Structure 1
C-alpha cells in the first residue's frame, strides 16, 4: 500500500513538472513571437510617429502664418472718430471690440460719432469725413463722382477699400401676400410709378414706401451707372430716421415696404423679407430657405443667404468699404490700418461671425 502511494506521488510530481514546463514554454514562445512582431512593426510605428509629428508641425506653421490683428504694422496709438453706415452695426459691436481688446490692440481707441444733422448712414458718414469731422468712414455703397470731386476741391482724394459684402433686402409687413419683386418693380415703387400691390401680383392695397432721405442713404437701389439715379422719389415715399424706425412703422402698416442692409433686417421677427430677382421667374430670397415664419421667431430666426450673395446670384449686392482720406496725415494712417485689420484672416473670420460675407 505504501509502495502504491509512493508511486502515485511520483507520478503526480512528474505530471506537475511537465505542466509547469509546458506553461513556461508557451510563455517563452509568446514572448519570442511578440518580440518579432514589435521588431517588424517598429519602422511603421516610427514612420507614423514621424508623420504625426510632421502633421502637427504643419498645423502649427499654418496657424502661425495666419494673419491676426496683432500682425498688422503701423497701427497708430491714439483715439479716433469714425462713423457712417448703420449696416456696419454688428461689425462695430463684434469686430471692433475684438480689435480693441486687451489681447490684441488695446492702444487703439475708436469712437463712433453720429451726425448732428440728418440720420446716420453711408452718405452722412462720407459727408462728415469730407468735412473733417471723422478720421475714416464706413460705407455700404461705393463713392459717388460728386464725393470724389468735393474731395479733390479740398486738396485730397478718397479711397474705398472693400472688406466684405452684404445684400440689400426688401421687407414688408408679415401679413402681406406677395411672392416677391423684380429690381425694376422695386425701383418703380420708389419712383411712384407703382403705387398698389395689385400691380405686382399682390392684394388691392396701397403701397407705403419707407426710405431714408437720399442725402443720408445707407444703401442704394439705383446703381451709380443707372439712368434712374438722381430722379426724385415718389410722393408715396415716407422718410424715416433709421432702419429701427422703419421696422417699427412696417409692423403697423399692412402695405408698407422698406429696403436696407440684408444683415440688418433678415433676422427681424416683426417684418418679412421678400425674394428679389432680375426677372419675375428668377426670384432669390435674401434668407436661407426654408423661411422661418414670424410665429417661429424668436425661437428660430432667418439666416442670411450668404451663398447667393457670395456667388452673385442675389440681384442687389451691397459691398462694404472703409473710406480712407488720402491726405498723408493721421486720417490716412488710421484708415489704412483699420482696413488692414479687417482684411487679416482674423478680421475676415470676425466679419463672417458678424453675419456678412468676407472678401478673402
Structure 2
C-alpha cells in the first residue's frame, strides 16, 4: 500500500486533530488574522490566502480557492494570469521543525528535477498521469509548489467516490483495472529521465492508493501523487520504488472498490483476501485474477502481462435460472401462469437494465462531462493582445493538411483559425519552410520568424521548448482492399512491427514468406514522401537505427496521394500493379479512404490493436475486420482510447511547441492558440479533420453559431 503517510507530520505539532495538513485551524487562522503565516494553536504553516500570486518561469499564477489536502500537500485552484488558463497548485511544506537547511535545499533541487523530467517527456500526458507543468521552489521559502495545467487534479479521489457511491460493480472494477494497467505499463517503461534519478529508478509509482487516484464523471481514472515527489516531503528515509509493488497495490485498490473494504485497514483485524468469505461471489474469474495481482497466486511479471490476462478473462457465468431461487419444498415444476408472466416480463426487465446500468465501451462516443468542462467556443477565449503572430509547421505534414480541410462548410479550417476571434485583432499567420528545416528548430533561432510550431512529436523535443498536446496523430499501415486478391483477409487484418521492419528494409519480398497460408504475391512496399510520416515510422518501427534507416531509404518512394489514387483507379487495372502493395501514411490523409484496409498493429507479445472502429447495430464500437465493406458501411471512427493510451503503437501526440523563455515577444501566442484548439469547437474541428481529439465530442455536436455564421 502507499508509502506516503501525511500523518507523519503530526508528531512535530500539537494539532488537536492529529492531522495538521487536513486540519481547519490553519485556515481559520488565515481568515481571522490576515497575513498570519502559522496556525495560532499549533504553529503549523497556514494555507495560502486567496489572490496570492506565485511567479514561475512559465508565468504567474493567482490562487482562487483552497480545495483540500492530498498526500503530503495542499491543493489550490488557480489561474495563469497572462492567459486565464485554469491551473491547480499543489503546495508542499519544508518547515524547520523537521528539515534542516541542507535537507530543505536538497528537496527543492530534487523537486525541480522531477518537474523537468516530466516537462521533457512527450508522452507524459498520454497515459492518464497527472504530471506537473512546472515547479516553483524559492530557496528562501519553506513552501514549494507544483503547477498542473487544467483541472484534472481537482477531480474527486477514489476514496471520496467510494465513500459516496459504495462498492463498485465487478464490471466497473474491471474497467478501472484495464485503465490502470495501461497507465502502469507505460509508466514502468519510462526511462529514468522521467523522474529524477536522485530519488529512485523512475519506473514505479510507489504510492498507489485510493487517495492517489482521481476519477472523472465519465469513468476515466487518473494517476496522481507519484512517490518520486511525494516522499521528498516525508521526514523519513526515502524508499526504493518497485514496479512489482505497484501491481500488488493495484490489487488492493481493486479489492477495496469491489468490497468497499480494505485489506490493510490499520485495524486490529485487517481483512485476509485468502479467506473466501471476504470476496463477492458474482465474478469468480475476477477474484482469481486479483489473487494473482496481489501476489497470493502466481504473480504477473509485468503490468502488460496482467492487462492481457484481464482482457482475456472470461465473463462470469449468469445465474442458471429461476429454479435456483426455489426452496427445497417448492415443486420442481413452477406454475405455468407465473412462468408465462415471467417470460413476458423479461423484455421489459432487459430494457430497464439497458437504460439504467452504465455501459462502458472502450471507445465511447457518448457525451461526457469532461467535454462539457471545455470552454464552448473561440469566443470564450480571452487574454490576447492585437498583433500578427506567425507560426509554422511541416510543409507536407499533418497541420498543413488539417488547415486545408473543409469539415463543416465550404470554408477551410485555415480561414477559421487565422483570426479565431473576430473581435480580437490577433492574427495567426501560418507559414512553412524548406523541408530540410525542422519547424521546431525554426522557433528556437535567434531571429525566429515563428512564435510557435505545430508538429507530430516523433523525436525528442529540442531543449528550450515547451510542448502542449492539442490532439493525437499517427500512422495507418494499409494494403489494397481488393476482393480477388484479398490481402487483408490473408493477413487476418493485422501485421507486427517486426514484420513491417523486415518488409520496409527489403528482408521480406514475397507475402508467401510470412507463412504457407499466405498468397504467393510479390510485396511492393512504398515509402510516402511526407517527412513527418517518415520520421514517425523510423522512430516507431525502425527504432531510429541508422543501418535500418539506410536500407529503408532504398524502398521506392511515392506520395500518399499517388499511392491512394493508384489503388483506387479501377479494380482490374490496379490489381495488376497494386495487389501486393503496402504503404503507410498520416491519419489525416488515410483514415477515411475506403479502397484501402488499415492493418491492426501488433507490438512484441501484445495483441494487435486496430486503429479504426465501426459502430454495430446495437450501438457498440468494434474494431473493423477484413469482412467489412468500408465503402458501403458508415465511415469508420478512430479508436480514441488506443491513441490516448498509446496502445496503438504508431500513435504520437500532436503538439504546439513554444519557447520556454517567457520574455520572448509573442511567446504567449502559443499557449493561447492551444486554448482555442482545446475548446469544444476546436476539438470538434480537429476530429472532423481526421485527428484524435483530447476530449470526445458527442455524436450530435454542432459548431457554435459564432463559427457557423461567419
Bin of the TM-score, shorter chain as denominator length: 0.5 to 0.7
Bigger CA radius of gyration: 1
Q: CA separation in 2, counterparts of 1:225 and 1:255?
A: 20
1:238–1:63 distance in 2 versus 1, CA, 3 Å: closer
CA contact (8 A) 1:160 1:322 kept: yes
CA contact (8 A) 2:479 2:597 kept: yes
1:278 aligns with 2:603: yes
Aligned twin of 2:383? 73
Q: Any gaps of 5 or more consecutive residues in structure 1? A: 1-61
1:308–1:81 distance in 2 versus 1, CA, 3 Å: closer
Aligned twin of 1:223? 539
Tell me which of 139, 142, 147 is aligned to 2:455: 139
Q: Which moved more, 1:184-193 or 1:278-287?
A: 278-287
CA deviations 1:213-266 (Å, max 9, x no partner) are: 6966465134389754333233651223x4323323455422222222234212
Q: Which moved more, 1:272-281 or 1:222-231?
A: 222-231
Tell me which of 546, 565, 573 is aligned to 1:248: 565
Query: Which has the larger helix fraction?
Result: 1
SS in 2 for 1:239: coil
Q: CA separation in 1, counterparts of 2:373 and 2:532?
A: 43
1:299–1:181 distance in 2 versus 1, CA, 3 Å: closer
Q: Residues 101-116 of structure 1: matches in 2 within 5 Å?
A: 104=422, 107-116=425-434
Tell me which of 668, 675, 678 is aligned to 1:333: 668
Aligned twin of 1:195? 509
Q: Residues 1-360 of structure 1: matches in 2 within 5 Å?
A: 66=375, 68-69=377-378, 70-74=380-384, 76-78=386-388, 80-84=390-394, 86-88=397-399, 89-90=401-402, 93=405, 97-100=415-418, 104=422, 107-117=425-435, 124-126=438-440, 128-129=442-443, 132-144=448-460, 148=462, 157-175=464-482, 176=487, 177-179=490-492, 180-201=494-515, 202-212=518-528, 217=533, 220-223=536-539, 228-231=544-547, 232-234=550-552, 237-240=555-558, 242-251=559-568, 252=574, 253-279=578-604, 282-288=607-613, 289-291=623-625, 297=631, 300-327=634-661, 328-360=663-695
Q: CA separation in 1, counterparts of 2:685 and 2:594?
A: 24
Q: CA separation in 2, counterparts of 1:75 and 1:188?
A: 52
CA contact (8 A) 2:526 2:583 kept: yes
Q: Which moved more, 1:107-116 or 1:293-302?
A: 293-302
What value does the CA root-mean-square deviation take over the aligned residues? 3.8
- Please state how far the C-alpha of 1:195 moved relative to its aligned partner: 2.6
Q: CA separation in 2, counterparts of 1:192 and 1:351?
A: 36
Q: CA separation in 2, counterparts of 1:309 and 1:211?
A: 23
Q: CA separation in 2, counterparts of 1:294 and 1:213?
A: 29
- Please state how far the C-alpha of 1:320 moved relative to its aligned partner: 0.8
1:173–1:133 distance in 2 versus 1, CA, 3 Å: farther
Superposition TM-score, scaled by structure 2 size: 0.35
Q: CA separation in 2, counterparts of 1:66 and 1:117?
A: 36
CA deviations 1:294-314 (Å, max 9, x no partner) are: 965277433322233234432
Q: CA separation in 2, counterparts of 1:359 and 1:296?
A: 26
Superposition TM-score, scaled by structure 1 size: 0.64
1:279–1:224 distance in 2 versus 1, CA, 3 Å: closer
SS in 1 for 2:502: helix
SS in 2 for 1:332: coil
Q: Which moved more, 1:72-81 or 1:293-302?
A: 293-302
Q: Any gaps of 5 or more consecutive residues in structure 2? A: 1-370, 408-412, 569-573, 614-622, 696-710
Q: CA separation in 2, counterparts of 1:222 and 1:350?
A: 29
1:282–1:135 distance in 2 versus 1, CA, 3 Å: same
SS in 2 for 1:82: strand
Q: CA separation in 2, counterparts of 1:99 and 1:238?
A: 36
Alignment length (residue pairs): 285
Q: CA separation in 2, counterparts of 1:68 and 1:229?
A: 44
1:306–1:104 distance in 2 versus 1, CA, 3 Å: farther
CA contact (8 A) 1:197 1:207 kept: yes
